[in-house]
Amino acid sequence: MRLSFKIAARFLKFNLAQTFLIVTGIAIGVSVQVFIGLLIQGLQQDLVNTTIGNSPQITISATKEAAVIENWEEAIDEIKENEPGLSAISAAADGPAFLLKDDRSDPVIVRGWIFEDAEGIYSIEEKLVEGRLPKEGEVIAGLNLKDELGLSLNEEMKLATASGRIEEYRISGFYDFRVSSINSSWVITDIKTAQGLFDYGDEVTSIEMQVQDVFAADIIADSINNRIDNEDLIIDNWKAQNQELLSGLNGQSISSIMIQVFVMISVVLGISSVLAITVMQKSKEIGILKAMGIRDGDASRIFLLQGLILGVFGAMLGVALGLGLSVAFTTFALNPDGTPVIAFYINYGFIALSGGIAILASLVASFIPARKSLKLNPIEVIRNG
């Protein structure tokens, strides 16, 4: 093995220009693979964060007939105990109402949360642009609602329910979810205030959850459904509600895989053809080595080790180039507000896999010239020069 390695290294050093070109070719293939892969994964991460990152990924809600979820605290405790894949879980008391101001009556959705629990899903404090989170008897409203109705901090907000109940609550702050439909329709309060407004007693209307792996939401939802098995409850997940988004994400993943496969095929063909030519170029040296007693296995191993060396250096340079392209893209491709079009995303597992595939592809490519070297007859090679 040591002799084969020394000869392989010497062959590569003998023609540094050719070696550099091969390594560069591998590096370009790996860099494209890393750059495209990280770019698409970053785009997927942005899409997921934008659409479902700050919203429940699994929701348990009551049917129209049941209206509310009874024994919801016991249900939450059971889910926490048996579902380790959850990252956050929160109860909510929701209901439709009308916001009365001057001569206007605007429909809104009143959402009541336990803020310590809901923070893990909605990051509400980060979205506050004015004031503070509401206490019992207080509410916060969205920026769109504030601008449309001319609301102000510490003003009294009058809410009317479908049953004819009218209550007034102090406005303690304003939020911005960066979603117009939410900013113009949600009135957020604590869970006790919402329960009192809609006469829910101590019950809630939904249990909302986020999971550690967003793409496992349907599996966890099915597990919860099988465990609870209650006809008065509806268990839904984001994948069932966002088929078009899921289809788009799958399409991106498939296109990324296709690009990477064809890049690796081109790398394999390039290395194979160059090493095959090297066998012809070095046939006389191989013939002399065989005549001196080197075994066929050691002779073929020379080209396998060449492929390995080329693959390792090409993969290292390719990963560095790919990361450099990713950094450059996120640095110069910016939105009008100065934020990156796609945030810089690093998946160490994917990077290691890309480098490993390049090394494996180089080894596979070197099998063809290695087999060709086995067939070289030293007498004929030396005689024909």
Which pLDDT score is estimated for 18? 77
Alpha-carbon span 246 to 214, nearest angstrom: 11
Alpha carbon distances (Å) from 77 to 189, 203, 205: 23, 15, 17
Alpha carbon distances (Å) from 280 to 221, 274, 284, 289: 62, 10, 8, 15
Q: Report the pLDDT averaged over residues 199-208.
A: 93
Average pLDDT score over the chain: 83
> Of residues 278 and 184, which shows the higher confidence score?
184
Q: How confident is the model at residue 170 (pLDDT cuts 50, 70, 90)?
A: very high
Alpha carbon distances (Å) from 295 to 169, 233, 280, 308, 379: 90, 74, 18, 20, 15
pLDDT at 1 over 60: yes
Which pLDDT score is estimated for 71? 87
Alpha-carbon span 135 to 104, nearest angstrom: 26
pLDDT at 129 over 90: yes
Question: Quick one: residue 29, left, alpha or beta (phi over 0 = left, psi -120 to 50 = alpha)?
Answer: alpha
Which pLDDT score is estimated for 328? 87
Q: In the block, which residue shows the tokens 């004929």?
A: 380
The domain ranges of the chain are 2-51+245-384, 55-239
Kindly give, in sequence order, each residue whose CB lies less than 8 Å from that of residue 357, ignoring residues fewer than 6 positions away: 33, 260, 264
Q: How many CB atoms lie within 10 A of CB 234?
A: 15
Which pLDDT score is estimated for 95? 93
Q: How confident is the model at residue 155 (pLDDT cuts 50, 70, 90)?
A: very high
Of 224-238, 291-305, 325-339, minimum mean pLDDT range: 291-305
Contact 362, 311 (CB under 8 A): yes
Which of 157, 136, 53, 132 lies closest to 93 in space, CA to CA?
136
Of 277-281, 326-330, 363-367, minimum mean pLDDT range: 277-281
CA dihedral sign, ordered 124, 130, 133, 139: negative
Which pLDDT score is estimated for 208? 94
Q: Report the pLDDT averaged over residues 243-271.
A: 74
pLDDT at 2 over 70: yes
Contact 115, 132 (CB under 8 A): no
The two structure tokens encoding residue 283:
């046939």
pLDDT at 16 over 70: yes
pLDDT at 198 over 70: yes
Which of 208, 205, 204, 203 lies closest to 221 in space, CA to CA?
208
> Of residues 232 and 136, which shows the higher confidence score?
136
Which pLDDT score is estimated for 92? 94
Alpha-carbon span 190 to 348, nearest angstrom: 41
Q: Report the pLDDT averaged over residues 6-16.
A: 75
Q: How confident is the model at residue 143 (pLDDT cuts 50, 70, 90)?
A: very high
Q: What are phi and psi of 276, to 5 degrees?
A: -65, -40
Alpha-carbon span 139 to 164, nearest angstrom: 20
Residue at 123: amino acid letter: S
